[in-house]
Structure 1
Amino acid sequence: MRFTKMQGLGNDYVYLNCTGGLPDNLPELAARLSDRHFGVGADGLICICPSERADFGMRIFNADGSEGAMCGNGIRCLGKYVYDKGLTRKTSLLTVETASGVRYLELFLRDGRVHAVLVDMGRPALSPPVKLTAAGRTWRAVPVSVGNPHAVVFCGEVDALNLAELGPALERHPAFPDRVNVEFAQTDDRGGLKVRVWERGSGETLACGTGACAALAAAAQDGLVSRHTAVRLPGGELEVRWAEENGHLYMTGPAVTVFEGEISLEK
């Protein structure tokens, strides 16, 4: 099976061109390909599919095989994939259908290839803060949906947190019966945000595009940052803007091809 490994700020995925049809048993395939010892190694699998509503469709599977609804870093890399491989010549208003709706992309080129992508992430849905008990403490979390569920927790120092303990406890908290992605955020001295992410089904990752958008929306709503700022994650920086004119979130960041290859699916 031919594949392409891509990453956005270190949030890495295996990409399959499925415009001619989907492979069998995608959850099992995603878990096998994502395994960092016995597979390619990734945070998940993304299938590029045909769509009747958009230029392309995108299906996302986490490293544990569960299917996701939306992935900000993943959709940026999809934009790079389809342009660099000649599947489209669009650089603006490129449309991608996801399980959470159609998203619009603008591609930025350097030497004829995509190096960065802006994504219209749509309007966030913010819920009132909730108090959650986990790892022996009570945490204030702001639930935010940006096509997938997030809980944003503001902390004094995110680097001091033990996410290996805290992440699973909040991801699987009874308040979120379908599990949740968790962002641990703090303001920085530049007026931006510093964020660590625990992704539902994948664990701690170097970056999460939807998580950065959720953190910005929660922080801006509380007056902690402006509506247009940088979000710093362990893998790098995203620019996120929450537009006042239409309420949409716009995310801009890099997209990188790591390598291409072929893997045997023999067990």
Structure 2
Amino acid sequence: MSRPFLKMNGLGNDFVVVEARSEPFAPSAEEVRAIASRDGGIGCDQLISLEPAAGEADVRVRFWNADGEEVGACGNGSRCVGWLVMEAAGRDSAVLEVGERLLRTTRAGDGLVSVDMGEPGLDWTDIPLEEPMDTRGIELQVGPIDAPLLHTPGAVSMGNPHVVFFVDDIDTAPVTEVGPMIEHHRLFPEGVNVGFAQVKARDHIRLRVWERGAGLTQACGTGACAALVACVRRGLTDRTARLELDGGDLTIEWRAADNHVIMTGPASLDFSGTLP
């Protein structure tokens, strides 16, 4: 049968969302790459499937990166799915089952959706790292030993692994040079998303992210969450900040009361179609 899809985006981070609640969807890595291809495919950063959920969740959500690998989390994608479910049900909240986690989404104003991303993973085994380290600032540097370009990044898991380098000027940061090099570094056995954060104020972070399996994207929701957590742990920002990404802004709050990270931003529907 032909299978319908929706093309959506969160701040330019774009997705092909496939309905799989009535008929199973099990794409091969090759099929994912074909769908995600911007040359001949539909074109997206991630492929998302909506499946029947167990328990209290409204829907089970699965994510694949453009390289064909299934991944455990996607913040912008979760926001888009939350919006879809709320629109379809005429409600102001929805619960998504993502891997082992339940993500709660709520409407947050005109076209905006908030997602409770849960608690960040801060132990070296959560990321995971190859060896024990203090994730506030791990032993990793880029460039000459006596004068490294980048060093001592923070590491955070938001259901997927992130490393965050602190830079003085995002415009000159070597994102596309260093990103792919660190993505596959031996220190990260499952690979890693690589963030470059410039702290502009206690409540303002400029961020670019080289995403594992997708490359440089317009925005990365879990990357924004990880960047705020990493900055707070170093005393660089307050617990709520505006994250300025290439595609637009997200508001991230790391709540002191329950340790949960709340991400708020837009979700947009671009067009619909049928998978070839």
Q: Could you tell me the TM-score, scaled by structure 1's length?
A: 0.91
Identify which range, 59-68 or 163-172, moves more after superposition: 163-172
> What number of residue pairs does the alignment pair up?
257
Gaps of 5+ in 1: none
1: CA distance between counterparts of 2:176 and 2:220? 17
Identify which range, 135-144 or 74-83, moves more after superposition: 135-144
Q: Could you tell me the TM-score, scaled by structure 2's length?
A: 0.88
Contact 2:136-2:233 within 8 A present in 1 as well = no
- Amino acid across the alignment from 2:92: T
Cα 1:263–1:55 shift into 2, 3 Å: closer
2: CA distance between counterparts of 1:104 and 1:263? 29
| 4+ residue runs over 3 A deviation | 133-138
1: CA distance between counterparts of 2:212 and 2:97? 21
Contact 1:120-1:248 within 8 A present in 2 as well = yes
2: CA distance between counterparts of 1:196 and 1:15? 24
Matching of residue 132 in structure 1 with residue 133 in structure 2: no
Render the CA deviation track for 1:75-126: whole Å, top value 9, x for unaligned: 0000122233x2x23312x11000141111102465xxxx111011111122
Matching of residue 184 in structure 1 with residue 196 in structure 2: yes
2: CA distance between counterparts of 1:162 and 1:38? 30
- Partner of residue 60 from structure 1, selected from 59, 63, 81: 63
1: CA distance between counterparts of 2:4 and 2:208? 32
Match in the other structure for 2:125: none
Matching of residue 251 in structure 1 with residue 252 in structure 2: no
2: CA distance between counterparts of 1:172 and 1:178? 8
For 1:150-161, list aligned pairs within 5 A: 150-161=162-173
2: CA distance between counterparts of 1:51 and 1:100? 12
- Amino acid across the alignment from 1:80: W
Match in the other structure for 1:98: 98
Contact 1:230-1:240 within 8 A present in 2 as well = yes
CA RMSD after TM alignment: 1.6
The structure with the greater share of residues assigned to strand is: 1
Q: Per the alignment, in what secondary structure is the counterpart of residue 16 of structure 1?
A: strand
2: CA distance between counterparts of 1:63 and 1:255? 20
Q: Per the alignment, in what secondary structure is the counterpart of residue 130 of structure 1?
A: coil
Contact 2:19-2:49 within 8 A present in 1 as well = yes
2: CA distance between counterparts of 1:241 and 1:23? 34
Matching of residue 69 in structure 1 with residue 72 in structure 2: yes
Give the % identical residues.
39
- Partner of residue 30 from structure 1, selected from 29, 32, 38: 32
Gaps of 5+ in 2: 123-134
* Deviation for aligned residue 1:21: 2.4
Contact 1:135-1:169 within 8 A present in 2 as well = no
Q: Per the alignment, in what secondary structure is the counterpart of residue 139 of structure 2?
A: strand
Match in the other structure for 2:247: 235
Render the CA deviation track for 1:126-156: whole Å, top value 9, x for unaligned: 2242122446545211110111110011011
Matching of residue 44 in structure 1 with residue 52 in structure 2: no
Cα 1:14–1:135 shift into 2, 3 Å: farther
Match in the other structure for 2:6: 4
Cα 1:249–1:190 shift into 2, 3 Å: closer
